[in-house]
Structure 1
Amino acid sequence: MNNLPFKRNSALASFGFFSIFILNSCQLLSPLGLGKKKEVVADSTKKDSALVYDKFLKNAKIDSGIFNVINKEKDFFFEIPVEKLDKDFLLINKISSVPLALNEAGLNKGMNYENKVIRFSLKKARKEIWASEIKPQVEVPKEDAIARSVADNFTASFIESFKIEGYNKDSSSVIIKINKVFDGTEKSFNDVFTNIGLGTSPKTALSLIDQMKSFDNNIVVRSILSTRVTEGNESIPISLTITSNILELPKDAMKPRFSDPRVGYFTTPRWYFSDKQQEMEKRELVTRWRLEPREEDVERYLAGELVVPKKPIVFYIDPATPQQWRKQIIEGVHDWQKAFEEAGFKDAIIAKEVPKGMDFDIDDANTSAITYAASPQANAMGPSVVDPRTGEILEADVIWWHNVMTALNTWMRVQTGTIDPTVRGNVFSDEKMAHAIRFVSSHEIGHTLGLKHNMGSSFSFPVDSLRSASFTQKMGGTATSIMDYARFNYVAQPEDQVQAITPVIGLYDKYAIAWAYRWYPNKTAWEELPLLKKEIESKQDNPYYWYGEQQDPKNTVDPRSQSEDLGDNAMLAGTYGLKNLKRIMPQIINWTTTSGQDYYKAGKLYMAVIGQWYAYADHVSNNIGGIYLNNPVLGDGKDAYAPVPRQKQEEALAYLKENVFTLPEWLFRKELMTKTFPLKDSPVGSFEYAPYTLKREFQYSLLYNLLQDQRLLRMTEMELLFGRAQAWSVEEFLKTLRQEIFAKTLKKQNLDINARMLQQNYIDILLVTNNKSMDKLNTKKLSFVDQFMKAAKPAFCPVHATAHTNSDEHDLRNVHVSGMSRTSEMLTVKRAELIQIQKLLKAAQSSGDFTTQAHYQDLLMRINSSLNVNN
């Protein structure tokens, strides 16, 4: 491991700047390893203390900054100015290096796992400094009577104490030994192994402070912490390098801006109390950088001229980044400059390589960087560090995993390989890959600016417009926001000659940046509200500016806001997508394999094609029982909830009948499957999925999702609100579904293995979802498909918000629909469906060939057993 150099040459300390002074009238404390307490007379104090401290400082190193850091052998001390006591500091803990075991699990350099606001306070009677953790979520006017109650009901919690080792010569600073909170002895400042999910404690014998550096507004501490984790019969040693920053929060706090659910920003909560209230006011603060015009440019800014902000946003490119990608990563950052011009600022965001000779420390909380992580992970993320008092983004890091290029390679081949010959091979040209990297760079930088995913932006484009060369060129890319997971244009057909097929920063992004970053002088956050609302209202009738909140992909409520989809009609988009997949299937071996090579790459691409097919079916399924979710306000004429139109739900079922109920034979080409099965990598090697098993599992997964209680309950809710003319009832849906699945049975036809598999899957799902204990076991089995899809279609930045006050897990939009299983309407309708199938099978049990009749007898036995029927 390379030690970072100090930012300046540490000199041997001299008595001139530091001296331990008197804590009690006649005693000089000499911890610091200086021996016993020594009685001194008052008039010789300075001389004696100088001698003692000179002796202590021999061979010690001092780094001056916000706190002076004294390092003597393995011990570290903070000299904290008294004026810095009871001030707010942000403790920021980040990963700086990881072993292979954690690298493989997705933990890498640059990841921020824990932030908290702390204060150092003097406990004079105890001769100690206590550190407390602050939750700066509450605000109250100091002059209000309720301020006393706020002070008593929102107190700090103390997390650590430090013995005072001494003072400097004029008692303006206090000295404490800081080792225990960074060397693994105590977890109060850094509980890394709990935070990353290992649940172990550091082994102090194998943990230490590697280095401390002091800067003007922060201290950087680098520690090595070791532990041991037991997995099965194996005990694995784990050592991490951790960088902790103690960053002084700004004295002149940024003016906050209140969020609005119609614009997608990460937020931090704020509670306001006052004597005038009848109810506490809850607000969410937008997380954003502080962009303000320079004093000499204020008039020009207010006149509408573009000005350079007082402090631009600057990102540095990690020197570990391969040279061929740096230019396009930088361009991906600079693409946001046009968006900031909508807010009145030019050159507001800059990315650059580290200049030669620069005192650069990628772990310094004053430095924002795009960190390059050597890892098998195919991902990227863009977390930021936020001042919880105001929502100000203080620093941000894009974590760029090396293997993100494998995901880009897969996406482009599967989604656009038929219209772009340059993305068909196993390896792309540097120019092509760099172009794709630019898109990812822009997306992740968007998160560091405070933007959440806008999964609804792709819905604003009509599907057929994505086949228009002129439309896509004019609008740019595949959606109105690069913060969608819109990916590449899989709708366009080879004859369309579409060139603009990559996501880019769009109209929504520019509008959202203008909304959050436009500077309003001399206005409080409350006074800004009418201006901000007016800006939203001016765009709300234009679908290009609609914000569709991210949802749980396993329980999607609003089908307009889905990951990986394109256009305003999933059925039509999926149909076009399937046409391209059909063109790819015969080419898989040609695109992946040359003479003498095995078929490993072909199996991987094959898996990606199946994953894309599954994604289309999933997008379609979510229209059934879907609810359009909005965030209306009084006067805008909008409803909060509306069912997906019945006609569109029926169209979705027709798509599933064609492409899921009978899995398409073109997806299981014998010419390909005699060479390779679909492959998924795992820690123990490649998994090869045989076709019948894969068909059964994928069909089962899609049908299971289609029959979830949540989906059927949503259909019931919408029927009650809107009636059957607008909403599709559960009864009608299940009847139609049954007629499709048992179409051959109703005609007394023989059933082939695919028809039998479909009926078996459907009935089994009804049986297990009727029995909650069976359903829990069944959910575990479905993890097969989840793992397959994760490998086939990895999602970017799934944990990008971990450093924000609110994580994605708490921000996902959902509609709560559930009920006691014993009284749920869904139990009734599913049992009724089983009874209808039972009657159908009894009428048909003597029809068909021997295998068909055996199949019916088996199904009847299963249903009778579930319904406790004897025959």
Structure 2
Amino acid sequence: MSKNTVKLSISALVLFCGLLQASPANALTNKKNPKTEKDATKEKDSTDTKKDKYADLLKDGVYKKGMFNTIQVKTDMYFEIPDSLLNRQFLIVNKLSQVPLEVNDAGANKGMNYENKLITFHKDTLANKVWVKTQTPRVSSPKEDAITESVKDNFIESVLEFFEIETQNPDSTATVIKVNKVFDGNQSSFNDVLTGLGLPTSIKTNLSYIEGIKTFPKNIVVKSLLTTSVNEGSGDMPVSLGVTTNIVLLSKEPMQPRIADKRVGFFTEKSWFFSDAQHKMEEREYITKWNLEPKDEDIEKYLKGELVEPKKPIIYYIDPATPPQWRQKIIAGVHDWQIAFEQAGFKNAIIAKQPSPEDTDFDIDDVRYSVITYAASPKSNAMGPSVMDPRSGEILEADIIWWHNVMTSVHSWMRIQTGPIDPKARANKFSDEHMGEAIRFVSSHEVGHTFGLKHNMGSSFAFPVDSLRSKDFTDKMGGTAPSIMDYARYNYVAQPEDGVTAITPQIGLYDKYAIEWGYRWYPDQETEKKALRKMIEDHQDDPMYFYGEQQSYLNIIDPRSQSEDLGNDAMKASEYGLKNLKIVVENIIPWTYDKGEGYYEAGKLYMGAIGQWQMYNQHVLSNIGGVYLNHAVYGNNKKAYEPVPYQTQKRAVEYLAKNALTIPTWLFFNDEVLDKTYGLKDSPVGPFEYSPYSLARELQYTTLYYTLMDERLLRLLENEVLQVETGKEKNFTISDLFEMLNSEIFALTNKGKSLSILERMTQKNYVDALIIDVNKLFEKTSKKGLITDHSLQVPTLCNHLVEDNKLRNINYTVMKRVSEVTTYKKGELIRIKKLLSKKKNTGNKATKAHYIDLINRIDEALNLN
């Protein structure tokens, strides 16, 4: 059949269907038949029948009043939807409320919000149905503009679900529908928990049921137990999940959104804006924020600069399951933000408290309550997501998840990073007071996310490294960076003799500034726009207010914005860090001593120390081929792309040569530690032990692989081209990098000396890292398959925030197979082969065999045989 034939057939079918929808007698004229007396009688009987059914439901069921009145008849659940709420927008918010061990072990816990949907209800009396429609509200336009009609037609709602109309209330102002199917697992339209958790199974409806419904003036809460099964190779295993679905009535008019600026770190909601005056569509990003406003009677005071209380403060409730000794510390972490909101003009803007026994409606899963939920779980983390109105970015409710084992992470950070300068941070178990201060810091950080703030990984770069050794400076500035939203953990730079005591991250200058930028209230949009721009311009040259996006640790482009680093000089900070780390290693056994116990704690601390060493290597490495990515806009005279200075990159290579290419024997081959334990890392099957030689080989290889990764070398090439073509100052080049690495790694070979096993290991790692890329040049191979999984990464928090994982979309790798990268790598391999061929008969027997092995590897990789 031809395409034209298909089109005609479809047209005919549409016409035919249209005729069928009209009444038979008037299909062609499309006129309605007048109602007969018989029809009127039928309609009256139908109405009476429905009234009878409504009365029967009330007689047999439990009736509750709320946003939707609800009727429960045994296991059947009914919503009574008022006509006044038809076509209004609601937000479905789905949360986990109970999980079994198997799901807990996978990192999913009570309180987690896994799925949200925007919906509307539409009554169709002709079809006797209520249709539920959904849409993604990313589009807006002025109501009075002509293009708005086109916007309506081109971004319509889609049908999500339908319900049969069971009956109506006596005065026909509300419609009753039976809702079991969307809550008991029969339909996933309202609640698709399995997809939300990534479980490729289906709900077993005969093992699932609705546990209860609660209705309130502006929301409904439905709790269900949904069961599925998973197969782990030894038969089906049942998995039941307690889930809570909230249906929340949204305001008729969304909050006035605030347009984002890349120079201040807020989470955002994207939107497309259309108007008649445009020459093209405008893409907007709205920050996510609470709707904080002064009371009407206080507006004049607020505008004069007086502190006023907001119409509606932000309230956080502490989960009653939280151990008592931590509750006040978590509350204090929330209240630490008061000073930031005062800078925005509001006092008593945030409140943290324990739920009152009088509040019988309190429910952790109810979206009317922002709760810091305490999860009994082996997971060591915490996170602070929010539920927001997708139309405007308004935060409606916050869900901070606090995993019990987060204390293992903060314990590790404090002992390794501050143990040398703080005796309180050395034991296997800290005092409750000392651990409580760490919990307070984590609380503040996570609460910051629920205000809409993203990580500011560039904040710590504002502090000069040596200032972190100054008691006066650290006392004055407080903490380790101008922002608690950085991953600037504890002060590992300060030395024992410095007397520094302000070593914990705190609310800083950037945090206060960001909250003011996001939350200061303005009477109109034009005033807001000018004030916010001026606020940024007033601080754009002050490093204390710099915002640096989080980047993937696998590919850091801008070395100023790194996780877990301190200060503005990674080499200097890491040298100080190593001095303190030597103290830790020397004290692993005495600090972990526990009479009658084994050396598990010693092995864990030892592995943590090695992980800290590797983290310093990564901080330094990021400077090689690094580019400072500045927020350039018209008028601020900033360079958008600024290569890391030549001397900084040179110093980075020198640091790696000294501390990574030369394996530190004090760290990997400490007799006092190795007589008792290897490094230990927990795994699902128990502690996993890493032998020092294999661990040193793997981590050194990782450092070399990332030093020579294609994208890093392509950035070096990019900077070299810009230097040659534009006459800019000297940039660090690939030739500089290979010259420094080669002269260090093959120094003893050039002298004809014998090599130790560790020196031979370094040469093999270097050659293999070069060969890997040459062999894989034309293959689609992931880095993950070639290298370590970074299993020794220092513990992190908030890694759920995937929006934070990308800096800017800068393409350095297009058509890399025809770039100079492989030319340089092949050239370096040939250079190494020439040297080894010349020196293959020098050194001891092991060294000679090693040279022959490397020559054969290079020949095979380059097809020189």
Q: Which TM-score applies when normalising by structure 1? A: 0.92
Q: State the SS of the aligned residue for 1:315.
A: strand
Is the CA contact 2:54–2:167 (under 8 Å) kept in the aligned structure 1?
no
The alignment partner of 1:662 has SS state of: coil
- Cα deviation, 1:257-298, whole Å, max 9, x if unaligned, reads 100000000000111111111011111001100111101111
Q: How does 1:213-612 map to 2 (within 5 A)?
A: 213-358=214-359, 359-521=361-523, 523-524=524-525, 528-612=528-612
1:815-867 deviation line (CA, Å, top 9, x unaligned): 32103353132121111111111111111111111111111111000101111
Match for residue 197 of structure 1?
Answer: 198
C-alpha distance in structure 2 between counterparts of 1:837 and 1:509, whole Å: 51
Structure 1 match to 2:682: 681
Alignment partners' CA distance in 1, 2:281 and 2:565: 41
Q: 1:808 to 1:179 in 2, by over 3 A?
A: farther
Equivalent residue in structure 1 for 2:815, among 817, 820, 823:
820
Where does structure 1 lack aligned partners over 5 or more consecutive residues?
1-23, 29-38, 802-806
- What is the distance in 2 between the residues matched to 1:27 and 1:70? 34
Gaps (5+ residues) in structure 2?
1-34
Write the letter of the residue equivalent to 1:751.
Answer: L
**Alignment CA distance shift 1:163-1:732 (3 Å):** same
Deviations 1:529-566 (A, max 9, x none): 22211100000111000001111111000000000000
Q: Give the Cα–Cα distance (whole angstroms) in 2 for the partners of residues 580 and 775 of structure 1.
A: 44
Q: Deviations over 1:709-738 (max 9, x none)?
A: 010011111122235843211122112211
Structure 2 counterpart SS, 1:760:
helix
Partner of 1:195, secondary structure, is: helix
Where 1:90 maps in the other structure, the secondary structure is strand
Q: Show CA shifts across 1:414-440 (max 9, x none).
A: 000011101110111111011110000
Shift of 1:45: 7.8
Evaluate the alpha carbon distance shift between residue 25 and residue 813 of structure 1 in structure 2; reply closer, same or farther with a 3 A threshold. Answer: farther
* Deviation readout 1:83-134 (Å, 9 max, x if unpaired): 1111111111111111111111111111111111111112332111111111
Output the amino acid matched with 1:211. Answer: G
Please give the alpha-carbon distance, in whole angstroms, between the structure 2 residues aligned to 1:147 and 1:369. 39
Q: Distance in 2 between matches of 1:51 and 1:145?
A: 48
Q: How far 1:55 sits from its partner (Å)? A: 3.1
Deviation at 1:662?
Answer: 1.3
What SS does structure 2 have at the residue aligned with 1:682? Answer: coil
Deviation sequence 1:431-451 (CA, Å, 0-9, x none): 101111000000000000000
1:808 corresponding residue in structure 2: 804
1:145-171 alpha-carbon deviations (Å, 9 max, x no partner): 211211121111111111111111121
SS of the aligned residue for 1:219 comes to: strand
Q: Which amino acid letter does the alignment assign opposite residue 818 of structure 1? A: T
SS in 1 for 2:539: coil
**What's the secondary structure of 2:682's corresponding residue?**
strand
The separation in 2 between residues aligned to 1:756 and 1:820, in whole angstroms, is 35
Checking the alignment, whether the CA contact within 8 Å between 1:230 and 1:236 is kept in structure 2 is yes
- The correspondence of residues 203-214 of structure 1 with structure 2, limited to 5 A, is 203-214=204-215
Quote the residue 2:849 is aligned against.
854
Three-state SS of the structure 2 residue aligned to 1:755 is helix
The structural deviation recorded for 1:54 is: 3.2
Would you say the 8 A contact 1:227–1:238 is kept in 2? yes
| Aligned equivalents of 1:828, 1:42: Cα separation in 2 | 85
Between the aligned partners of 2:45 and 2:823, the Cα distance in structure 1 is 92
Q: What is the CA distance between 1:42 and its match in structure 2?
A: 7.7
Tell me which moved more, 447-456 or 190-199.
Answer: 190-199
Answer whether contact 1:550 1:813 (CA < 8 A) is retained: no
Quickly say closer, same or farther: Cα 1:751–1:76, change in 2 above 3 A: same
Q: CA offsets per residue over residues 349-373 of structure 1, 9 Å max, x none?
A: 1100111211311111111011000
Aligned with 2:738 (options 734, 737, 742): 734
**Residues 777 and 817 in structure 2, CA contact (< 8 A), matched pair in contact too:** no
Q: Percent identical across equivalent pairs? A: 56
Q: Secondary structure at the match of 2:246?
A: strand
1:787 alignment partner, SS class: coil
TM-score of the aligned structures, taking structure 2 as reference length: 0.93
Once the two structures are superposed, the pairs formed by residues 634-649 of structure 1 within 5 Å of their partners are 634-649=634-649
Q: Does 1:752 align with 2:753?
A: no
Shift in Å, 1:231: 2.5
- After TM superposition, list the pairs within 5 Å mapping 1:668-747 onto structure 2: 668=668, 669-723=670-724, 725-747=729-751
Instruction: Report the equivalent of 2:22.
Output: none
Within 1, Cα distance between the matches of 2:864 and 2:649?
35
Conservation of the 8 A alpha-carbon contact between 1:768 and 1:775: no
**Residue 77 (structure 1) shift:** 1.1
8 Å Cα contact 2:51/2:169 also seen in 1: no
Alignment CA distance shift 1:144-1:48 (3 Å): closer
| Shift of residue 234, structure 1, vs aligned partner | 4.7
CA distance in 2, matches of 1:743, 1:815: 37
Deviation sequence 1:639-686 (CA, Å, 0-9, x none): 111000010001001110111001101102011112100001111111
**Is this contact kept in 2: 1:92–1:244, CA < 8 A?**
yes
Letter in 1 for 2:372: I
Letter in 2 for 1:744: L
Counterpart AA for 1:448 = T
Output one character per residue of 1:776-808: Cα deviation in whole Å (capped at 9) or x when no partner: 77844556442232xxx221011146xxxxx33
Give the letter for the 1:753 counterpart. Answer: I
Cα distance in 2 between the residues matched to 1:129 and 1:632:
52
Instruction: Kindly report the root-mean-square deviation, in angstroms, between the aligned alpha carbons of the 2 structures.
Output: 1.9
Higher mean Cα deviation, 416-425 or 128-137? Answer: 128-137
Cα 1:782–1:479 shift into 2, 3 Å: farther
Structure 1 residues 730 and 431: CA distance shift in structure 2, 3 A: same
Contact 1:769 1:775 (8 Å CA) reproduced: no
Tell me, yes or no, if structure 1 residue 863 matches structure 2 residue 863.
Answer: no
Distance 1:675 1:42, change over 3 A: closer
Is the contact made by 1:768 and 1:778 (CA closer than 8 Å) also made in structure 2? no
CA distance in 1: counterparts of 2:353 and 2:544, whole angstroms: 32
Q: How many angstroms does 1:232 deviate by?
A: 3.5
Mapped to 1, the partners of 2:275 and 2:42 lie a distance apart of 55
Distance in 2 of aligned mates of 1:84 and 1:516? 32
**1: distance between equivalents of 2:152 and 2:94?**
28
Name the CA distance, whole Å, in 1 between partners of 2:452 and 2:389. Answer: 13
Query: Superposed, which structure 2 residues align to 1:131-210 within 5 Å?
Result: 131-210=132-211
Q: Distance in 2 between matches of 1:374 and 1:817?
A: 44
Secondary structure at the counterpart of residue 786 of structure 1: coil
**Paired amino acid for 1:514:** E
CA deviation map 1:42-69 (0-9, x unaligned)? 8888876555443333341122111111
Q: Distance in 2 between matches of 1:733 and 1:543?
A: 30
| 1:108 counterpart = 2:109 | yes
- TM-superposed CA distance for 1:477, in Å, is 0.5
Structure 1 CA distance for aligned equivalents of residues 38 and 266 of structure 2: 57
- CA distance in 2 between partners of 1:108 and 1:48 (Å): 47
Structure 2 CA distance for aligned equivalents of residues 434 and 51 of structure 1: 62
CA contact (8 A) 1:97 1:240 kept: yes
Secondary structure at 2:589's aligned position in 1?
A: helix
Tell me, yes or no, if the aligned pair for 2:382 and 2:797 is still in contact at 8 Å.
yes
- The SS at the match of 1:211 is strand
1:586, distance to aligned residue in structure 2 (A): 1.6
**Offset at 1:743?**
0.9
